[in-house]
Amino acid sequence: MNQNMNQNTDPNTNPQMPPNMHPNMPQKQEIPNATLVLILGICSIVLGCFIVGIILGIIGLVVSGKSKRIYQQNPEMYSNYGTLNAGRILSIIGLILGILTTLYVIAMFVFIGTFAIPWSELSELSELYD
């Protein structure tokens, strides 16, 4: 009976741990808010044609900046930097799409608005200032 107890007393062998991990080595954890940043990035692209895409893109970039600073303090402690980086890139793309779409809509309103005013009114306005 004493032989059976001595067989599993080695501190480096633990049946619950993977063989490449040392029992004193801390396990890696996920970066805080990495999944949230990814979701915000995807939503900013999907909703990029509205002002909502710009807002979600900005929020995604702010949250990813905080999480990236946490990761850079101790990179060995975290495991899902790829998710955070993908969400950050998607937030940038969504932000750019939202800005371009907003500029396009503004340009269309200006363009259509110039043709909505009759030319006769424009000539009357120009006579007032001459």
Collapsing DSSP to helix, strand or coil, 50 comes out as: coil
Residue 77 CA to residue 27 CA, distance in Å, equals 7
pLDDT at 43: 94
Work out the average pLDDT over 108-127.
Answer: 73
- In Å, how far are 3, 41, 50, 54, 116 from 102, measured between CA atoms? 76, 18, 7, 9, 21
Find tokens 């303090």 and name the residue.
Answer: 73
pLDDT tens digits, one per residue of 20-36: 555 566 678 888 899 99
pLDDT at 57: 93
Nearest CA to 70 among 26, 25, 30, 31?
31
Which of the four pLDDT bands, split at 50, 70 and 90, describes residue 48? confident
- Higher-scoring residue by pLDDT: 80, 7: 80
92 pLDDT more than 90: yes
Percent of the chain scoring above 70 in pLDDT: 70
Distance of CA 62 to the CA centre of its chain: 8
Joined together, the tokens standing for residue 30 give 């996920």
Residues in Cβ contact with 73 at an 8 Å cutoff, skipping those fewer than 6 apart? none
Nearest CA to 66 among 37, 98, 41?
37
To the nearest whole number, what is the mean pLDDT of the chain?
A: 80
pLDDT at 23: 58
Work out the average pLDDT over 118-124.
Answer: 66
130 pLDDT more than 80: no
